[in-house]
Homo-oligomer: A and B are copies of this chain.
Amino acid sequence: MNKQYQGSETSTEIENVSKSTQGSFPGLIIREKEPANYEYPFPMLDDFITPDNQFFVRTHFPVPDISSKDWKLTITGEIENEFSINYHELKMLPSKTVVATLECAGNGRANMVPKMKGLLWEQGAVGNAKWTGVPLSVLLKKAGIKSDAVEVILEGADKGAITEEPKSPGEIHFARSLTLTKALQEEVLIAYQMNGKDLTPIHGYPVRAIVPGWYGMASVKWLIKIIVVNKPFDGYWQTLEYAYWSRPDGHPSLKPVSEVQVKAQIARPALSELIEKGTTYTITGAAWSGEKAIEKVEISINEGKSWEVVDLTSQPMPHSWVLWEYNWQVPIKQSKYKLMVKATDCAGNTQPSEHDADRRTYMINKIIKHEVEVQ
């Protein structure tokens, strides 16, 4: 851990392994114990690849207990050849490894005013890992997609009933659809490894989807079924949850949350960290965007009056975050300073100054003021 890291998360204590219900997650912040929703303390960021036991956890139901021997994946719907594949057979197929950042669609929700509904993630519902598996496109080609197919539903083994409003229709499996276009992109994986090791139970063992460029809810864990459909899927987690308002026809219409929005985050200094006046402080962080590589990250020390470009310390590439740093000549004047960062991707997408209410409590990437104290 960087010695400059002195801060701690403000709203929730970092709980240790003994309090965790789901094995070994030293240092993860528990946002909800059951089902497991654990946050990475983002000020700890040092490495380009997030270790699996520090990777944030988002679950909707209890973690299913599936052995690789019993697991199988069924492909059905608008296809020519319905089939099932077991774990051994899947691992025999040609594999691909991708580096992909997964971010929860509600990451940053805790920073919104007024308080929003939903899990109050601060900055740490994001992580970057190496994922290995079989491209979904390989399985879809084997299945033979019919010409009227438009989407692909990914179904997890995790299930349950949501009894608070908005209620689920009884007990349902977690499921999410991809557009056929996205499903056929070669980086979309049916993955069985994270950072070169078998997935852990909480991250989807034995097999999960990895959908680089889309928010985490699309990377369905404990994947057991793929259904090709000829109509857009209006499932629970893309209408009632993980949906936002778009206005293509002048009317608000609910659309499934999908592509990750461009965003930069400061790791250090932590929020409210004390910084010694007149020193040089290396501000660090990460930045990412959905389908595009990051082009630049800028920082402002004076609340947006002027911006400076920071150094990128890892190679920008699509689907993965980039690390960055900036050597700050800390002023002599003792005061609170509000640091602001913004990222721009190579398609010119950048961050808004306000959260668009049509996004509801998702896709939160407005530029925030990160307050620190110089003494």
Which residues in A have some Cβ–Cβ distance to B below 8 Å?
A: 77, 117, 153, 155, 165-166, 168-170, 172-173, 175, 227, 229, 231-236, 239-240, 243, 245, 248-255, 357-358, 360
Identity of the chain B residue whose Cβ is nearest the Cβ of A244 in the assembled complex = B169
> Known contacts A165-B165, A239-B234, A240-B240: does B357 contact A251 (CB below 8 Å)?
no
Per assembly, the copies of the chain total: 2
8 contacts between A and B (CB under 8 A): A117-B165, A153-B249, A165-B165, A165-B166, A166-B166, A235-B254, A236-B252, A240-B240
Contact B234 A169 (CB under 8 A): no
Going nearest first, the 4 A-B pairs with the smallest beta carbon separation are A169-B245, A234-B254, A169-B252, A234-B253
Q: Which residues of B contact A169 (CB under 8 A)?
A: 245, 252, 357-358, 360
Q: How many angstroms between the C-alpha atoms of A170 and B359 in the bound complex? A: 12
> Known contacts A240-B240, A357-B169: does B251 contact A233 (CB below 8 Å)?
yes
Q: How many angstroms between the C-alpha atoms of A245 and B162 in the bound complex? A: 14
> Known contacts A168-B252, A249-B77: does B239 contact A239 (CB below 8 Å)?
yes
Contact B254 A357 (CB under 8 A): no
Inter-chain pairs besides A173-B251, A234-B253, 8 sampled, C-beta below 8 Å: A175-B251, A227-B250, A227-B251, A234-B234, A234-B239, A235-B251, A235-B252, A239-B254
Shortest distance in angstroms between A247's beta carbon and chain B's nearest beta carbon? 8
Contact A251 B153 (CB under 8 A): yes
Q: How many angstroms between the C-alpha atoms of A253 and B177 in the bound complex? A: 11
Contact B232 A232 (CB under 8 A): yes
Q: Which of B243, B249, B360 contacts A233 (CB 8 A)?
A: B249
Shortest distance in angstroms between A73's beta carbon and chain B's nearest beta carbon? 15
Q: How many angstroms between the C-alpha atoms of A172 and B253 in the bound complex? A: 11
Shortest distance in angstroms between A258's beta carbon and chain B's nearest beta carbon? 14
> Known contacts A165-B165, A169-B245: does B240 contact A253 (CB below 8 Å)?
no
Q: Which residues of B contact A245 (CB under 8 A)?
A: 169
Shortest distance in angstroms between A262's beta carbon and chain B's nearest beta carbon? 22
Shortest distance in angstroms between A180's beta carbon and chain B's nearest beta carbon? 15
Q: Which of B173, B232, B235, B253 contacts A235 (CB 8 A)?
A: B253
Identify which of A231, A232, A239, A253 gathers the most chain B CB atoms within 10 Å of its CB. Answer: A253
